[in-house]
Amino acid sequence: MNITSTQFAIGQVVRHRDFPFRGVVVDVDPEYSSSEEWWQSIPEDERPPRDQPFYHLLAENGSAAYHAYVSEQALLVDDSGEPLHNPEVEEVFGEFRGDHYDLPNSYRN
């Protein structure tokens, strides 16, 4: 499958469809590209198809900040209007604009 577009953009704030966490997109892979070990650790009946975009997120839940790697089908737009509290976000992105963060200079031409 040749992916030419993605549903979410770098800097956009998203939330997981089934689990209570939010994050900001920092990178996207056009299809699954993490380790086979990680893939096998997902219960077989919950594994998403590999041939869809997977997003690298700076994520957070009620008690922790972390990195997440999530399939496109598992994400939704976060419409809370709340900034993230993951401390890495301010190291990577600019100002929060309600549903996204300004891109860092390294992403601009």
Domains within the chain, CATH numbers bracketed? 13-107 (2.30.30)
Res 104: pLDDT: 72
Q: What is the three-state SS of the chain?
A: CCCCCCCCCCCEEEEECCCCCEEEEEEEECCCCCCHHHHHHCCHHHCCCCCCCEEEEEEECCCCEEEEEEEHHHEEECCCCCCCCCCCHHHHCCCECCCEECCCHHHCC
Please give the model's pTM, rounded to 2 decimal places.
0.90
CA distance linking residue 80 with residue 53, whole number of Å: 24
Res 1: pLDDT: 44
Res 57: pLDDT: 98
16's tokens = 């997981």
Give average pLDDT by consecutive 10-residue segment, the chain, 109 residues: 75 96 96 93 92 97 95 96 95 94 74
